[in-house]
């Protein structure tokens, strides 16, 4: 009695289990190419593939699709594994397409022997030209009718390094008139004399995606191979290869990829942002990468929840990044410990508070949870830092903060009344002078005074100085990828650094990844690259949606 209706993939899996296909077994895979860090789009694929298997008692393989030696690196492999684990998923087996290079070579030989593949000496331009157009049939190149013996000999010579890059390719021999361009004798292998991050210099020919992917699914006996919609036209080739090779009948299913506004999600573009120093690194908190979101303070639960909320569709759409922000806010509202920090300080002096006195007040960690998850000590003294915006010389109506004659409560402390203020020669307010009501202490208030506003503060002699980084969207337009030069749409104000913010001392115990609500200011986490000498806090998200569209 599931409340939620099934998505179309769940329906397919349930039907397959029902009919006893593959003995009711479910094995999915997540197949990243190790040519960059994972992004939020990959998270959708991870949640989908692992989630589908988990729901039906199956398993998921992690398969590195490492058939392109030039762009792939071990650093990416490590980051991908780390990100999947952090998201909360565990793969059954860690596999590499490159481990199948021998098997794939054997498959290619089998196709040649069946008269279904040939070595073509044409250049890539000649091949492209001979393929025709969707409305016009292609023409055979002069190499299409080579004998099986000749093809076998040439393919072996390709493998043995007898030819330079681009001199020859292996093509499937299917149908040059097929309306589906992917079936017009697609490339299976190309020559590339390049060092591979795992197989070193063992190979100088590499299988194309279409020849490696389905065959790897088959080798692993994947039951449901889930990929994004761009691969719909590849499916007939996927099926043709499996059928001709007479190997395990994996099936491909397609869903709409995640598109998110105000960001880019192609690894090639993200790499440009890193290489050209628009951002600090792949894990810059403005990046849509999993590692960037983690460093920004997103939790695994919030990302999983986001992926589940957007659901699985068969039609392309663009998701508002506001939904992602909603998901982290919802999570942090329940889990973040409340603390006080002043980002734009001016001094408040309590003129009737004894000069050498101080008190230790207490504040609960989390008012959203029964018992508050304990409490922390908050030192209080005669001089406090408050936010500049919490004082106005001439306030508008309904300004429930400080101005001459107005009263507020200091959070977890006393009610104060503003009596005076001091300006510097430039006219900026530097000090706000108040008196406090001794009987108004939080939790034991007998003053009978009601005030409308509560403000946060940090005791001057106890305050710790930290750097705070406020992030905004990395791009100024909804769909930066649509722009010819997407980098011209970068938001120049995506990072604001506050070098001297004041925090209450307990925040020195903060650890990266744990969320804190700086009361009235937003959710923050300690930066992973922060040091005890120079603590840095990243703003994860504001308290409310303050993004002006």
Going by the annotation, the residues of the binding site for ATP are: 33-35, 39-45, 228, 257-258, 265-267
The count of residues in the chain is 549
Is residue 265 close enough to count as binding ligand ATP by CB under 6 A?
yes
Host H or E run for residue 309: helix 300-310
User: What is the nearest approach in angstroms of ligand ATP to the Cβ of residue 192?
Assistant: 18
Q: Could you confirm whether 257 is annotated as catalytic?
A: yes
Closest to Mg ion by CB, 68 vs 130, is: 68
258 binds, among Mg ion, ligand ATP, none (CB under 5 to 8 A by kind): ligand ATP
User: Crossing angle, helix 300-310 and helix 74-87, to 10 degrees?
Assistant: 80
User: What pairing do the DSSP bridges indicate for beta strands 429-436 and 345-350?
Assistant: parallel
Contact indicator for 371, 327 with CB cutoff of 8 Å: no
Is residue 44 close enough to count as binding ligand ATP by CB under 6 A?
yes
Closest to ligand ATP by CB, 113 vs 230, is: 230
User: What is the nearest approach in angstroms of Mg ion to the Cβ of residue 78?
Assistant: 19
* Count of C-beta atoms within a 10 Å radius of residue 230: 10
Sign of CA dihedral 524, 530, 535, 536: negative
Among 17, 154, 258, 312, binds ligand ATP (CB under 6 A): 258
Beta bridge partners of 420: 433
Is residue 266 close enough to count as binding ligand ATP by CB under 6 A?
yes
**Residue 87 and residue 307: Cα distance in Å, rounded?**
11
Is residue 7 close enough to count as binding ligand ATP by CB under 6 A?
no
Among the listed ranges 29-37, 242-250, 271-279, 531-539, the one in contact with ligand ATP (CB under 6 A) is 29-37
Q: Which of 63, 168, 267, 295 is catalytic?
A: 267
Closest to Mg ion by CB, 59 vs 257, is: 257
User: What is the nearest approach in angstroms of ligand ATP to the Cβ of residue 71?
Assistant: 9
Is residue 92 close enough to count as binding ligand ATP by CB under 6 A?
no
Among the listed ranges 8-16, 17-25, 257-265, 311-319, the one in contact with ligand ATP (CB under 6 A) is 257-265
228 binds, among ligand ATP, Mg ion, none (CB under 5 to 8 A by kind): ligand ATP
What is the Cβ-side half-sphere exposure of residue 94, based on CA atoms within 13 angstroms? Answer: 9
Among 21, 257, 347, 411, binds ligand ATP (CB under 6 A): 257
What is the Cβ-side half-sphere exposure of residue 436, based on CA atoms within 13 angstroms? Answer: 24
3-state SS class at 339: strand
Contact indicator for 378, 506 with CB cutoff of 8 Å: yes
Closest to Mg ion by CB, 265 vs 435, is: 265
User: What is the nearest approach in angstroms of ligand ATP to the Cβ of residue 269?
Assistant: 8
Is residue 480 close enough to count as binding ligand ATP by CB under 6 A?
no
Closest to ligand ATP by CB, 30 vs 380, is: 30
Among 26, 204, 227, 470, binds ligand ATP (CB under 6 A): 227
Distances (CA, A) of 471 to 282, 475, 522, 524: 16, 12, 11, 11
Among 234, 267, 376, 539, binds ligand ATP (CB under 6 A): 267
168 binds, among Mg ion, ligand ATP, none (CB under 5 to 8 A by kind): none
Q: Could you confirm whether 267 is annotated as catalytic?
A: yes
Q: Which of 25, 257, 347, 417 is catalytic?
A: 257
Is residue 304 close enough to count as binding ligand ATP by CB under 6 A?
no
**Residue 412 and residue 209: Cα distance in Å, rounded?**
61
**Residue 405 and residue 420: Cα distance in Å, rounded?**
8
Distinct helix (H) and strand (E) counts, the chain: 12, 25
Q: Binding marks (x or -) toward Mg ion, 8..47, rule CB under 5 A?
A: -------------------------x--------------
Closest to ligand ATP by CB, 41 vs 535, is: 41
Nearest CA among 205, 219, 215, 209 for reference residue 241? 215
3-state SS class at 499: strand
131 binds, among ligand ATP, Mg ion, none (CB under 5 to 8 A by kind): none
**Residue 253 and residue 255: Cα distance in Å, rounded?**
7
Is residue 117 close enough to count as binding ligand ATP by CB under 6 A?
no
* Count of C-beta atoms within a 10 Å radius of residue 478: 16
Contact indicator for 418, 431 with CB cutoff of 8 Å: no
Phi, psi dihedrals of residue 267, rounded to the nearest 5°: -60, -30
246 sits in the region (left: phi over 0; alpha: psi -120 to 50; else beta) called left
Contact indicator for 83, 119 with CB cutoff of 8 Å: no
Contact indicator for 447, 518 with CB cutoff of 8 Å: no
Q: Binding marks (x or -) toward ligand ATP, 124..143, rule CB under 6 A?
A: --------------------
Q: Which of 10, 21, 25, 33 is catalytic?
A: 33
User: What is the nearest approach in angstroms of ligand ATP to the Cβ of residue 35?
Assistant: 7
Closest to ligand ATP by CB, 83 vs 185, is: 83
Q: Which residues are catalytic?
A: 33, 257, 267
Site for Mg ion, rule CB under 5 A: 33
Site for ligand ATP, rule CB under 6 A: 31-33, 41-42, 44-45, 65, 227-228, 257-258, 265-267
């Amino acid at each position: 009695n599931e409340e939620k209706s099934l998505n179309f993939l769940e329906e397919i899996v349930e039907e397959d289990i029902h009919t006893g296909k593959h003995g009711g077994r479910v094995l999915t895979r997540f197949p990243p190419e190790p040519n960059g860090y994972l992004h939020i789009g990959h998270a959708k694929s991870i949640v989908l593939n692992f989630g589908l298997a988990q729901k039906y008692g199956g398993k998921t393989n992690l398969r590195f699709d490492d058939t392109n030696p030039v762009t792939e690196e071990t650093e990416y492999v490590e980051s991908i594994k780390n990100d999947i684990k952090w998201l909360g998923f565990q793969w059954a087996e860690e596999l590499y397409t490159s481990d199948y290079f021998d098997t794939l070579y054997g498959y290619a030989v089998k196709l040649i022997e069946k008269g279904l593949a040939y070595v073509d000496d044409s250049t890539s331009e000649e091949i492209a030209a001979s393929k025709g157009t969707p409305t016009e049939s292609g023409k055979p190149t002069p190499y299409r009718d080579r004998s099986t013996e000749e093809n076998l000999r040439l393919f072996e010579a390709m493998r043995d390094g007898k030819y330079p890059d681009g001199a020859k390719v292996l093509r499937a021999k299917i149908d040059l008139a097929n309306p589906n361009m992917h079936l017009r004798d697609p490339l299976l292998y190309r020559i590339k004399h390049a060092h591979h991050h795992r197989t070193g210099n063992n190979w100088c020919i590499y299988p194309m995606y279409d020849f490696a992917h389905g065959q790897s699914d088959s080798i692993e006996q994947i039951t449901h191979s889930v990929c994004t919609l761009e691969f719909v036209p590849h499916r007939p080739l996927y099926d043709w290869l499996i059928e001709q090779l007479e190997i395990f009948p994996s099936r491909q299913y397609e869903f709409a990829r995640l598109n998110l506004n105000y960001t880019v999600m192609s690894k090639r573009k993200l790499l440009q942002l890193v290489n050209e120093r628009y951002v600090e690194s792949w894990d810059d908190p403005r990046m849509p990468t999993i590692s960037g979101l983690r460093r920004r303070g997103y939790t695994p639960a919030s990302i999983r929840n986001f992926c589940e909320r957007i659901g699985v569709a068969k039609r392309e759409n663009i998701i508002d990044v506001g939904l992602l922000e909603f998901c982290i806010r919802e999570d942090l509202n329940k889990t973040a410990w409340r603390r006080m920090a002043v980002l734009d300080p001016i001094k408040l002096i309590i003129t009737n508070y004894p000069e050498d006195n101080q008190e230790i007040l207490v504040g609960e960690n989390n008012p959203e949870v029964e018992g508050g998850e304990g409490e922390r000590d908050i030192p209080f003294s005669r001089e406090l830092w408050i936010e500049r915006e919490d004082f106005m010389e001439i306030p508008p109506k309904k300004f429930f903060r400080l101005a001459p004659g107005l009263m507020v409560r200091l959070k977890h402390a006393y009610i104060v009344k503003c009596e005076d203020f001091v300006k510097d020669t430039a006219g900026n307010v530097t000090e706000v002078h108040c008196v406090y009501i001794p009987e108004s202490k939080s939790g034991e208030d007998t003053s009978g005074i009601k005030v409308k506003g509560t403000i946060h503060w940090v005791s001057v002699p106890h305050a710790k100085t930290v750097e705070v980084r406020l992030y905004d969207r990395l791009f100024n337009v909804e769909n930066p990828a649509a722009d010819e030069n997407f980098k011209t749409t970068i938001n120049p104000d995506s990072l604001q650094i506050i070098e001297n913010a004041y925090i209450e001392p307990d925040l020195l115990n903060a650890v990266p990844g744990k969320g804190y609500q700086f009361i009235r200011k937003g959710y923050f986490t300690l930066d992973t690259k922060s040091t005890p000498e120079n603590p840095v806090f990243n703003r994860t998200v504001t308290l409310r949606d303050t993004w002006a569209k």
